[in-house]
Structure formats: C-alpha cells, structure tokens
C-alpha cells in the first residue's frame, strides 16, 4: 500500500501551494492570507495523522515558536502536532514562494538582456 503522506508527496504539495499562492498574488490577493488559507485547507493539516507527518518532512518544525505560539497540552499530542504542522507548512510554502519569485525575476531579467 502506497503512503500518500510521504516526504516526496509533501514537497510536491508545498510546491503546488506556493505556485497557487503566486498566482493569487498576481491577481492582487494578500499573499500571506492566501497561504494561510491554502495550508489550512490542505489534507496535510486537516487529518491529524498527516499533520504529524508534516513535522517529519518539513524544514521548519519550530515555526510555531517563531509565530510566538505555545502548544496547548490540553489538546493532546495530535492537537499540538496539528498546530505545529500548520505553522511549519505555512513557512515551507512561504519559503518556496520566495524561491519561485526569485526564479521568475531571474527569468524576466534574462529575457530582457540585449541579444536574448
């Protein structure tokens, strides 16, 4: 049985969410709000078992600390994992969006060079 919540699937989804956020930004949407909504609607966050796996695959497992959040132990381990996973995935998508912006700017600069 294939694990749909493996590391490769996580990063593919992060890439897709970052691309979607880039499109929303181009349409004039508040990009940080769009990222929050996209991540919140992700199956990686909706399902507790998947949220726990985010923390295994992400690059920002401590992002909840950067957000100034404390994990509420009354929510149980999976509830705490969901909060930490949301913050981590949100930061991973934001980081990937920044790279996509840089890649787009680089492509535009190359296209504008004389002799291109």
Total-model pTM: 0.87
Question: Would you report the helix, strand and coil content of the chain in percent, each value rounded to 5?
Answer: 75, 0, 25
The pLDDT mean for the chain works out to 91
d(CA 70, CA 88): 14
- 95 CB burial (10 A radius; 0-12, 13-18, 19+): middle
Contact predicate 24/71, CB 8 Å? no
Per-residue pLDDT, 60: 94
**What pLDDT sits at residue 3?**
73
By the 8 A CB rule, do 43 and 50 touch? yes
pLDDT of residue 44: 97
Residue 27, pLDDT > 70, answer yes
Checking if the pLDDT of 29 tops 80, the result is yes
């Amino acid at each position: 049985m294939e694990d749909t919540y493996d590391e490769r699937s996580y990063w593919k989804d992060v890439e897709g969410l970052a691309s979607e956020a880039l499109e929303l930004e181009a349409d004039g949407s508040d990009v940080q709000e769009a990222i929050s909504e996209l991540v919140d609607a992700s199956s990686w966050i909706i399902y507790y078992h998947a949220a726990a796996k985010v923390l295994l695959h992400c690059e920002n497992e401590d992002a909840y600390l950067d957000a100034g959040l404390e994990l509420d132990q009354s929510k149980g381990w999976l509830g705490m994992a969901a909060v930490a996973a949301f913050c981590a995935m949100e930061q991973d998508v934001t980081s990937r969006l920044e790279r996509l912006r840089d890649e787009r700017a680089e492509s535009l600069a190359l296209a504008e060079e004389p002799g291109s």
